Structure formats: structure tokens, C-alpha cells
Structure 1
Amino acid sequence: MICYFGILDSVNDVWGVRVPDLPGCHGGGASPDEAIADATSATREWVEARIAKHLPMPNPSTVADLLRSGEIDSSGGESAVIVRHR
């Protein structure tokens, strides 16, 4: 099973998770758990659409890759979460 990392953040009590390796894939909710669950659902749909089109899956980044690239703003309160698609 391939696992991707999502980036969890919050603004004004609204939580979001974006999945950098899957362009356009994100989720949101009123709590971190809701945002992660929504991102998990979005990831599942993203993967299913990709498979249906017979396209290869992107290689997942490591947390170190995401930190090195500046994708995670830990000083701004962002953190990495695992987003499973199956």
C-alpha cells in the first residue's frame, strides 16, 4: 500500500489537509480528525480516477523531502499526517 503525507493546517478554527504529491487533492473540516478523514476520502477518489485512466501513481515524498522543499511550514503550525487511500 502506498501512503502519502498530507499537510495539516488551521486558519480561524477551520482545518485543512493538502496532499502535495497529488495535485488538487485536499480535505477540510471543523477538526483535525474531520479534515484528515475528508483528505483520506479525496485521496481515495484521486487514486481511483488515476487508476481508471491507466496513469501511473506519483511516488510519495518523505516528510524529510517535504520539509526540505519548504512544503511544511512547521513554524506556522503545519504538521505532516499520513493519508491512506485504502
Structure 2
Amino acid sequence: MTHYIAIVEDAGPDHAIGVWFPDLPGCFSAGDNIDEALRNAPEALELYLEDFIAERKPLPPARTLTELRNDPEVAEDIKNYMVALIELPTRAHAAE
């Protein structure tokens, strides 16, 4: 099963909790609390990958946490925010 690492940003009580995927530019989700944001993340992942799946293009590779920590564009976010593994939804596995 493929999992993508998500960055979970909590900007405080007056803001939604944001979830974004370093390996999938432009793929993001949110929720009023962490649980809701994480429940919404797989749907965002599936919607983002819909074109890849429909056109049978290879999915963008999912990097490991170690690889992301070594990426200077992501390393600071990993230090400052939570990370979560989001499983690729079952319907999307057909494109793998």
C-alpha cells in the first residue's frame, strides 16, 4: 500500500488545521480540528491523483520521512509541524 507523508499545520484556534503533501504540489486539505483534517486528507489525495489514475500515468513517488528531512524545502516544516502518513485510497491503487 502506498502512503504519502502529509504535513499537518495548526495555526491556532482561529484558523483551520491545514494538511498538505510535500510530494504532491497543490494537494491540500483542512479541517476545524486535527481529527477532521486527517479524515479529509485521503479524499484530497484521491481527488488530486484522479487525472493520474484516469490517464494511467504513474503516480508521483512517495518519499520517506528521511528523504523529506533531507530536502531543504521541507525540512523546516517537518521540524515545526506534525507529520502523518495518509494511505492512498483503495480506488487509486489500480494506477500503481
- Scaled to the shorter chain, the TM-score interval is 0.7 to 0.9
Which structure's CA Rg is the greater one?
2
* TM score, norm. by length of structure 1: 0.85
Q: Which runs of 4+ in 1 moved over 3 A?
A: none
Name the Cα RMSD after superposition: 1.5
Percent of residue pairs identical? 29
Contact persistence 2:30–2:36 (CA under 8 A): yes
Aligned positions, number = 85
Cα 1:74/1:46, change in 2 over 3 Å: closer
* TM score, norm. by length of structure 2: 0.77
Structure with the higher fraction of residues in strand conformation: 1
Structure 2 runs not aligned, ≥5 long: 90-96
Contact persistence 1:26–1:42 (CA under 8 A): yes
1:51, 1:83 → 2: CA distance? 17
Structure 1 runs not aligned, ≥5 long: none
